[in-house]
Amino acid sequence: MNTDRPPTEELIRLLSDYDLKVGELALGLRDIVLSQAPDAVESLFRSYAVSINFSFTGKWTQGFCMVVVYPRHVNLGFHRGAELDDPKGLLEGEGKIMRHIKIASPQDLTRPYLKTFIRAAIKNAKSLDKERTAAGKSSRKDIRRGRRSK
């Protein structure tokens, strides 16, 4: 587990409803995401599944990826996954925009392409953020101060 940024008590509480092995997969995948994006803002959401959304703005809609926890596995989801280069067809999903990679065992966390896709999603999100800023539609907030950036 990433000791630089331990999980919040709320996240641990939400994961306690799942099998320990699934919770460990979620925390391991969270660590991988944070290793690629240490400044990312995490947002927790619970509906039919627990979701840990990662963005640089604090907005779910501007996230670059998410960890979604299910009873028997975890997904690494990409908000704009259909836009990512995937010549080997590793990303799952048939929708217009979102894609995911299923993580069902600790061995799945060792796949080198996880970091590759996360970095590509970060690059895509930052590019879109620059486009929004150039168009005068920036919603980036300085989370620590609660003020909009200029």
Contact 74, 14 (CB under 8 A): no
* Domain boundaries, given as residue ranges, for the chain: 9-148
Contact 93, 78 (CB under 8 A): no
List of the chain residues with pLDDT < 50: 140-150
* pLDDT recorded at residue 128: 74
Which residues are registered as beta bridge partners of 77? 66, 100
State pLDDT tens for residues 81-98: 999 999 999 999 998 999
* pLDDT recorded at residue 131: 64
Token couple for 8: 């919040």
Q: Which amino acid is at 81?
A: G
pTM to 2 decimals?
0.85
